[in-house]
Structure 1
Amino acid sequence: MNSPKYLLLLPAALLLACNKDNDVKPNQVPEAVRSSLAARFPSTTDLEWKKVGSDYEADFEVNTVDHDALFTAAGELVKYKLDIPTTELPEAVRTAISQQYSGLTIDDAERLHISGSEAVLYQVELDRPGNDPDHHLVFAADGQQPAQPAYWD
């Protein structure tokens, strides 16, 4: 039996299984960030924090709806998104998907808000048949796909 080989592979497998995001405890999140979240989303539940570069990402629920919000270390809201049913996608977005991505099904839909912009964007994950990778797309309400921002995973 090759027990020494397996013992060497175990730590490597555990490292690969770890999440790439840096989970942080609430007390490690700056007060300005926590206060900004509480002011913007006062009824959050199931709150978890991650450090993303120099920013902080909150993953939480409001009335059982999944939300994510990204804040600078100074507490400024950069962007946020929330899950929506596919029926809440604008008709133009659903039409664009059916015309440009026929044969694919919408797996996830989210409404995306970028700070400093009045425009509401929509993110969708489209499932491909078989083992092909999924499509991750961003749409404007008119069904157009803007060059920016990129899909926020």
Structure 2
Amino acid sequence: MKPAMLAILLASSTLFACDKEDQDLAPDKVPAEVKASLVKTFTNAINFEWEKKEANYEVDFDMNTVEYSALFTASGEMLMHKYDITATELPEEVKTVITQHYTDYRIDDAEVVDKAGTRYYQVDLKKDNMEKRVVLAADGQEQAQISYWD
């Protein structure tokens, strides 16, 4: 087998092996309760992309030119949602902790995550070829018990 074909075959098998529990869904495969909850909560949402995440439903969408994601149970209960923000929109306490604890790292991406009414900030940090992902509370405290939501 030619090296190029082998590389393509290996890359495609790796791609399909990842996230076996995550499945892209057509909108007609999403329960009506989930779609109704989404529209009720995010009235200006557009451009929906649905995935099945284990027993839950995740949707990526745009609202007012901002990228959002939300995670719902099959009955339509929203478990959490997130949206993109700029580094300048992070609370001062969060920026201070990043500056003090992640010297020489730059903020590559920042998001607000709302989980059960509590706001967290998840931040992608980059330095040379290194990347770190951290979740922080509004006061800048790292939240090791909260998983980074991809």
* TM-score, length basis structure 1: 0.88
User: Within the alignment, does 1:85 sit opposite 2:86 as a pair?
Assistant: yes
Structure 2 CA distance for aligned equivalents of residues 8 and 85 of structure 1: 41
Provide the identity percentage.
Answer: 42
Structure 1 CA distance for aligned equivalents of residues 59 and 106 of structure 2: 28
Structure 2 residue runs of 5 or longer lacking an equivalent are none
Greater Cα offset, 8-17 or 21-30: 8-17
Structure 1 CA distance for aligned equivalents of residues 26 and 113 of structure 2: 25
Correspondent of 1:17 among 15, 18, 35? 15
> Aligned AA for 2:65?
T
String of CA shifts for 1:67-108, please: whole Å, max 9, x gaps: 000000111000000001111100000000000001000000
Structure 1's 104 and 10: CA in aligned 2 closer, same or farther, altered over 3 A?
closer
Compute the RMSD of aligned alpha carbons. Answer: 1.8
Structure 1 residue runs of 5 or longer lacking an equivalent are none
Structure 1 CA distance for aligned equivalents of residues 60 and 27 of structure 2: 12
The structure carrying a bigger strand percent of its residues is: 2
Tell me the residue number matched to 2:112.
Answer: 111
Q: Find the residue that maps to 2:121 and give its secondary structure.
A: strand
String of CA shifts for 1:106-149, please: whole Å, max 9, x gaps: 0001011002x3x31111000121x33x1110011111112321
Shift of 1:36: 0.5
Structure 1 CA distance for aligned equivalents of residues 60 and 121 of structure 2: 18
Q: Find the residue that maps to 2:47 and give its secondary structure.
A: strand
Structure 1's 8 and 85: CA in aligned 2 closer, same or farther, altered over 3 A?
closer
Structure 1 CA distance for aligned equivalents of residues 47 and 103 of structure 2: 36
Shift of 1:45: 1.3
Tell me the residue number matched to 1:65.
Answer: 66
Tell me the residue number matched to 2:122.
Answer: 123
Shift of 1:11: 4.8
Structure 2 CA distance for aligned equivalents of residues 107 and 6 of structure 1: 33
Structure 2 CA distance for aligned equivalents of residues 26 and 77 of structure 1: 17
Structure 1 CA distance for aligned equivalents of residues 83 and 54 of structure 2: 22
Structure 2 CA distance for aligned equivalents of residues 17 and 42 of structure 1: 34
User: Within the alignment, does 1:151 sit opposite 2:148 as a pair?
Assistant: yes
* TM-score, length basis structure 2: 0.89
**Map 1:23-62 → 2, pairs under 5 A:** 23-62=24-63
